Structure 1
Amino acid sequence: MTATVFSGAVAEAEPRPAAPAVATTTPAVTRPAAVEKEPVCLRLKGAEACVGPEGSDRPGITVEDTANDNFHPAVEYYLNGYLGTKYVIHNLGRGGEVRGNREIGRIVTFRAALYEGNHRVKFGRWKTVRDMTKYPLKRETRVTPAEARARSKTCTSTNGAATMCFGEQKTFVFVCDTGADKYQARAQYFLAGDPTARFEIHQLAGVNTCGKAEHGDLAVSMYRASVYNHNRRVATRLYKYN
């Protein structure tokens, strides 16, 4: 599969893992993957985020700009119930354009948001969908920074606290937190030379942990590693070109 490029001030509430299921005598019902035929969408004024199966008009995870204004929409999401790594796709195109990524997990928890520059001004509620893709990404939560470097073609670091590594041919991107501090590592990058969709990986799990994203056949074209204190950037370097 390939990555898809289709061309407040209120306290943030992060999603919580679902409570454990209580055993009952009712037999389990097995549901085949990708039974949904239409995308599941969430809307804000100016943004529409969707998760859909292959064959629909919005496969994978996408975000559409639905208003010609000074804001840009984004979709924020977690994969496979793991809250240690958050992904964000910023749609920097014009009104009516859609940006996204086909590479999703079996479980996707997502919401729509509106940004003014790098400042998030509005966001909606979280929603979780399951079994939307026939070939879901597996969860990787135990990759260390050393392993990420060994598996990658290119790496860059910022102040020894955030490392971003990636490889081509079925492109993957790692971002690793390498500093024992209160800050979080973040990767920010663009794919296939398209300046209208910025991808981000926020690594929230702590020191010596890495998050991973996959993007199919699209290569990373511009990238940087940054360090954040929540949503305030405290260290970064200029973008590098691949």
Structure 2
Amino acid sequence: MSADHCFSHVTAAVIWGCPLPVGMDDGPVHVASRAGASRVRMRGVVGHELSGAHVRVVRREGMLVTDPVTTWLQLAGVLDHRWLVAVGDHFILDPIVQVLDDPRPYVGVDEFARRVGEFAGRHGRFARAALERVRPRVESPRETFLRLELVDAGLPEPLTNHPIYDSFGRRIAIGDLVYPNEKVLVEYDGQQHRTDSRQYQRDIERHDDLLADRWTHIRIGKDSAPRVAVPRTRAALRAAGLEV
């Protein structure tokens, strides 16, 4: 592929490792051409033209690809609100533990907000509505969706991937969705942990530590949220004295 072309849209999202709806990454390859360059036309390829001040192209894993903000704005035309927020969470993820050969975040929060705010193209209003709900420490789309479900049900927004310390100052957990003042923790109970005996044992000890420090630890199965998550979280917050 020439320097005048790059991977874009859904293909760029796959290269960036974005969470996507099931089957979306099975479609054609998306290739964009710079303004003035010929559009790629071949079977199995969807051609696009790059234009606008928001466009940036970078190199990732040896391939030319639209940068995170450009890709996210392109996805605003094909994803629903929840998935667009999840992809935004992925791009600005600032993990507690870094991977040396893939440093995060892929784009800083301030740059992300500035460029999306300046975007005047199609789907701009939709993108800005999603931007308001993007958070920097969300490590899976399940966490994104659960957070949105809780907030959309009228509950306060929890902190994401927040460290929890016991009364002795010892860190006992990093919680997915945390209400620190009410000492309520909401998390998905990952099925993979049950097949890893060491991880499963650590999870038991972690759960016991939380209960010993008088935390309410709500664990949600993948098939039960939000049917279970919302009422259980509401009940826990009310028990802690919050009017919700």
TM-score by length of 2: 0.23
The structure with higher relative contact order (CA 8 Å, sep 6+) is 1
Name the one with the larger helix percent: 2
Bigger share in strand: 1
Larger Rg: 2
**TM-score, structure 1 as length reference:** 0.23
